[in-house]
C-alpha cells in the first residue's frame, strides 16, 4: 500500500507514523509512506504558498498552483492517478467501513489544508474524496491524514501480527470489543472473571459476545441499532 501526502508539514506526518506498528510496516515494506512538501513546488519568490481570500475575511487561503504542481509531480513519477483525499471538516465522516473500502486501493494521495483552507478550484480539479474525522475543528489536515493512514495500514495484510485480530475488534459488525484481562489472576483484590480461566472455549466465546453487546448498548446505543439492523438481513 502506497500513501502519498501533500502537506506544508511533512515532518509531522513522517514523525507521527514512523513508530510502533506503522513504523514497522514501513520498515518491512508492507506500506510505503511519502510526505511531499507543497512549498517545494511554489513558483513564488519567497516560497509563498498562501494568500488573502478574495472578497475579504479572516485568515489565508492556500493557493491552487503549488498544490497542482505537487500533485502533477507525484502522478508523473508514479505513472498512476490515485484517489485524492482532501482532509476537511466539510467531508464525509471517516468510519471503519470507509477504511475497509480504501484499504483495497494500491495507492492513496492525501491533501492536507492549513489556515482557512485551499482554493476551491484545486478541489474541483484534483480531489476525488473529501473526508472529515469528526465534528470538531482542527488547525490542519495533517492529524486527520495520519489518523486515516494509521487506520488503513493496520488493515493491510501482514501489518498486524495476528490476522484474526482485525476482524474481532471494535466496530466490526458494529459492536464494541469485550473486556480483556492478563496476569495476574488477582490484582488489588480484583479477580479476573472466572469463566476466562475455565478453558471452556465455547462458553468464553458466548460470554465475550454477551459483553460486547451489553457494552455497545450502554456506551453506543446508536451502534447497537445498526447491529440489530444488520442481523435481520
Ligand atoms: Cl479532516 N480537517 C480539519 N482541519 N479539521 C477537522 C477535520 C479535518 N476533521 C475533523 N476536524
Q: Name the residue with the closest Cα to ligand 1, atom 3.
A: 138
Kindly list the protein residues whose Cβ atom lies closer than 6 A to any atom of ligand 1. 87-89, 132-134, 136-138, 140-141, 144
What's the CA gap between 157 and 154, in Å, rounded?
8
Question: Any idea which architecture 170-224 has in CATH?
Answer: Orthogonal Bundle (1.10)
Interhelix angle 201-219/221-231, rounded to 10 degrees, is 130
Model confidence at 233, pLDDT cuts 50, 70, 90, reads low
Q: Residue 165: its pLDDT value, please?
A: 60
Nearest one of 92, 90, 74, 93 to 82, comparing CA atoms: 74
3-state SS, residue 86: strand
Test site for ligand 1: of 84, 138, 142, 145, most ligand atoms within 8 A of the Cβ: 138
Test site for ligand 1: of 89, 139, 148, most ligand atoms within 8 A of the Cβ: 89
Q: How far is the CA of 128 from the centre of ligand 1 (A)?
A: 17
Averaged pLDDT for residues 45-72: 97
Structural domain spans, the chain: 2-153, 170-224
Model confidence at 66, pLDDT cuts 50, 70, 90, reads very high
Q: Name the residue with the closest Cα to ligand 1, atom 5.
A: 138
Averaged pLDDT for residues 158-180: 79
Q: Residue 171: its pLDDT value, please?
A: 76
Assigned CATH topology for domain 2-153: Alpha/beta knot (3.40.1280)
Is the whole model's pTM more than 0.85, yes or no?
Answer: yes
Q: Residue 114: its pLDDT value, please?
A: 87
Q: How far is the CA of 5 from the centre of ligand 1 (A)?
A: 15
Res. 168: pLDDT tops 60 = no
Amino acid at each position: 500500500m502506497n500513501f502519498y501526502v501533500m502537506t506544508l508539514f511533512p515532518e509531522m506526518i513522517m514523525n507521527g507514523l514512523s513508530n510502533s506498528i506503522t513504523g514497522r510496516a514501513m520498515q518491512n515494506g508492507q506500506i510505503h509512506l511519502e510526505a511531499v512538501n507543497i512549498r517545494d513546488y511554489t513558483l513564488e519568490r519567497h516560497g509563498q504558498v498562501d494568500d488573502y481570500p478574495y472578497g475579504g475575511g479572516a485568515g489565508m487561503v492556500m493557493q491552487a498552483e503549488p498544490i497542482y504542481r505537487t500533485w502533477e509531480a507525484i502522478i508523473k513519477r508514479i505513472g498512476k492517478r490515485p484517489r485524492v483525499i482532501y482532509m476537511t471538516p466539510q467531508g464525509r465522516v471517516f468510519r471503519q467501513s470507509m477504511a475497509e473500502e480504501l484499504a483495497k486501493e494500491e495507492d492513496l494521495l492525501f491533501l492536507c489544508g492549513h489556515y482557512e483552507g485551499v482554493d476551491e478550484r484545486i478541489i474541483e480539479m484534483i480531489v476525488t474524496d473529501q473526508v472529515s474525522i469528526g465534528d470538531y475543528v482542527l488547525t490542519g489536515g495533517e492529524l486527520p491524514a495520519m489518523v486515516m493512514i494509521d487506520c488503513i495500514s493496520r488493515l493491510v495484510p501482514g501489518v498486524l501480527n495476528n490476522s484474526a485480530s482485525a476482524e474481532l475488534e471494535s466496530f466490526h459488525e458494529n459492536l464494541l470489543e469485550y473486556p480483556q484481562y492478563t496476569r495476574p489472576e488477582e490484582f488489588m483484590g480484583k479477580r479476573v472473571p472466572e469463566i476466562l480461566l475455565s478453558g471452556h472455549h465455547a462458553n468464553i466465546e458466548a460470554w465475550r459476545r454477551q459483553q460486547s453487546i451489553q457494552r455497545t448498548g450502554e456506551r453506543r446505543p446508536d451502534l447497537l441499532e445498526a447491529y440489530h439492523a444488520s442481523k435481520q438481513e
